[in-house]
Structure 1
Amino acid sequence: MKYTNDEILAACNKMCQNTLMETLGIEFTEVGDDFLVAKMPVTPRVHQPDGVLHGGASVALAESVGSAGAFMFLNANDVIIRGIEIAANHVKSVRDGNVYAHASIIHKGRTTQLWQIKITNEDGALVSLVKLTTLTLPKN
């Protein structure tokens, strides 16, 4: 069964309820054939002590959007997706507004998937570049 983009976004946003994603204010906003986008507000809730976006919050955003993408694009109703490796380079500070994570699949294997996640600010400037490897496991 083929789902519409609106149905995919609704399912992604529903998965966020009562999770870290809801705590961080992550909202899925756009989906395409090989990408998924989410945004996160930059507020004191996700700041490090000096008032800029915490790198850990950026990594949580990246893993959330990459893992959700793997779940959606693999028709993963009968499998579990787990992030098994993540690497991030933070190149720009953000104090407020929103950041956007654009996850693109690079390798779509049956067992492992490789994602590139670009996190940008509201002006489209690169904030972090993240590589995520996900693992597909059968549900018990």
Structure 2
Amino acid sequence: MNNGSKILYLDDEDTNLFIFKELFKGRYKIITAAQPSQAFEILHNDEIDIIISDMSMPIMTGVEFIEKAKTAFPNKHYYILTAYDVNGEISQAIENGLIKQCFQKPMNVEEISNEISNALQTT
């Protein structure tokens, strides 16, 4: 466990933000954002180690958000979280190195924690 590491989780559903925070509290410092503009503000003002974005949001998809974020913050670890099947857009983002992995909802805490731990060791 790396309690000093900061994870930004972007999701337009308040319930999902709450659940994510509860599942990972004590493991990492979780910072949440309910919309992409809020997530960008956090990225500009705080040192974030890992960015996880929901895929399906009204303003832009998670992949679209990460494309924009990675331009400004290229040295971060980016992930998608989705309740849906991994589609072409997500697969392409993984193949192109835009995101490291896609996690499925409901969340598997150990799978996500293991991936985050591995990513943080390579930073």
Q: TM-score, normalised by structure 1?
A: 0.25
Structure that is richer in strand per residue: 1
Larger radius of gyration: 1
Q: Which has the higher helix share?
A: 2
Q: TM-score, normalised by structure 2?
A: 0.27
